[in-house]
Structure 1
Amino acid sequence: MAQTDQQPRKPRGGRNLPAAIGVGVGLGAVVAASLFVVKAVFMVVVAAAVAVGIRELTSRLAERKDVHVPQVPLLIGGVGMVVTGYFEGGQWSAAVLALTGLAMMVARMATPPENYLRDITAGVFTAFYVPFLATFVALMLAADDGAWRILLFLVVTICSDTGAYAVGYKFGRTKLAPTISPGKTREGLAGGIGLSMIAGALLMHFLIDGGAWWQGLILGGCAAVTATLGDLAESMIKRDLGIKDMGTLLPGHGGIMDRLDSLLPTAPVVWLLLTVFVGN
């Protein structure tokens, strides 16, 4: 007699899918409410995400590699980069990045000199990787149509991940980077690029004043590539640290950094292309 009982399929990556969907919907609601009610309030959300992301990354570095980054100047400088980027522009954010590096060098002098260079290097990397890249979100938001630019940025990045997951799950055969992220496939990458390009063309045409559909195709394709590279880069970091997730704050997703991995490197690319295509 044939066995009829089947084991339920394990969610991809061992994730709790209902929890992941619920958290995703909740995050989307927070972003939409802050973005389209009072634009500046969205900066509070970005600054909070940056602070939590910094804390997650530096905590994992301390736990797994015994790397101790000066926390206070990094957190103050990180939030400062985002805020000054929104109100004053990118040149001020770059200045705050430099000052943050100097402040960490001074703060680290309060402890023994062993591993001084290692700790400061990790601190400068964190300052660039999390808050400075997030500054480009603030620069997009500062434009007159900033809310729509942020919506475009978020949608094309999410479509990249969604398209890659759907196509890779159904048709994925050829591994993209098996030693870094075994679940990613070239077919999935193609699906992510395709969906992101379609979303970019539609949103650029209908939401961005002066935008054209062909510009959206370029923007969506570039965003999908940088989103994938960002995901792979964080996978490299997590493999080096020997962890699965950066944190546990978001059920079904991991930590804040596990959600920002594709968004952070995509932000400067989308900002640059929007500036070239339609200006500020």
Structure 2
Amino acid sequence: MWASDSLAYYIGKGMGKRRLYKEVSPNKTIAGAFGSVIGGMLSALLLGKLMMDNIAFYVLIAMGIAIGSITIVGDLIESMFKRDAGVKDSGSFIPGHGGILDKIDGALFAGPLLYWITLIL
């Protein structure tokens, strides 16, 4: 999920023009959302082959798409909470990174999804 967040940030900053959901998070772009999905796929392929060698390539791709997509949802929901509270950052523990909640927002949603996927497999 951090690969999804990182690729979303770099692709969004570098190529993003159209806003994903301006009212909730004005800096998130559609290009960044695609970056999140690509980051999810790449990390699923890498980690899947390192840790779960018996899982098929297409299953790892599907897992990556699911993780990359749900990471976007977690990030938007966390942004909604901050917007409702009237704050820009969820804390100052990590200066310039928006706080701890900004670092784990995707994991709060991606973790349970990954757990359910691995139970099914």
Amino acid at match of 2:87: I
Q: What residue number does 1:268 align with?
A: 112
Q: What residue number does 1:235 align with?
A: 79
Q: What residue number does 1:255 align with?
A: 99
Q: Which is bigger in relative contact order (C-alpha 8 A, separation at least 6)?
A: 2
2:13 to 169, 173, 193: 169
Per the alignment, in what secondary structure is the counterpart of residue 243 of structure 1? coil
Per the alignment, in what secondary structure is the counterpart of residue 98 of structure 2? coil
State the distance in 1 between where 2:38 and 2:49 align.
17
Q: What residue number does 2:88 align with?
A: 244
Please tell me whether the aligned partners of residues 205 and 212 of structure 1 are also in contact (alpha carbons under 8 angstroms).
Answer: no
Amino acid at match of 2:18: T
State the distance in 2 between where 1:179 and 1:250 align.
25
2:66 to 201, 222, 225: 222
Shift of 1:209: 4.8
Structure of higher CA gyration radius: 1
Which ranges of structure 1 fall in alignment gaps of 5 or more residues?
Answer: 1-156
State the distance in 1 between where 2:85 and 2:42 align.
36
1:190 to 34, 48, 61: 34
Of residues 253-262 and 162-171 in structure 1, the stretch that sits farther from structure 2 once superposed is 253-262
Which ranges of structure 2 fall in alignment gaps of 5 or more residues?
Answer: none
Q: What residue number does 1:136 align with?
A: none
State the distance in 1 between where 2:83 and 2:93 align.
20
State the distance in 2 between where 1:182 and 1:192 align.
17
Deviation by residue 1:14-71 (Cα, 9 ceiling, x = unmatched): xxxxxxxxxxxxxxxxxxxxxxxxxxxxxxxxxxxxxxxxxxxxxxxxxxxxxxxxxx
State the distance in 2 between where 1:204 and 1:164 align.
21
Deviation by residue 1:175-226 (Cα, 9 ceiling, x = unmatched): 1001111111111111221122122122212212532222211111111111
State the distance in 1 between where 2:25 and 2:55 align.
35
Structure 1 vs Structure 2 CA RMSD: 1.4
Amino acid at match of 1:186: I
Per the alignment, in what secondary structure is the counterpart of residue 80 of structure 2? helix
Amino acid at match of 2:49: H
- TM-score (structure 2 length as normaliser): 0.91
State the distance in 2 between where 1:255 and 1:167 align.
22
- TM-score (structure 1 length as normaliser): 0.41
Change (3 A) 1:195 1:255: closer
State the distance in 1 between where 2:113 and 2:58 align.
16
Q: Identity, % of aligned pairs?
A: 35
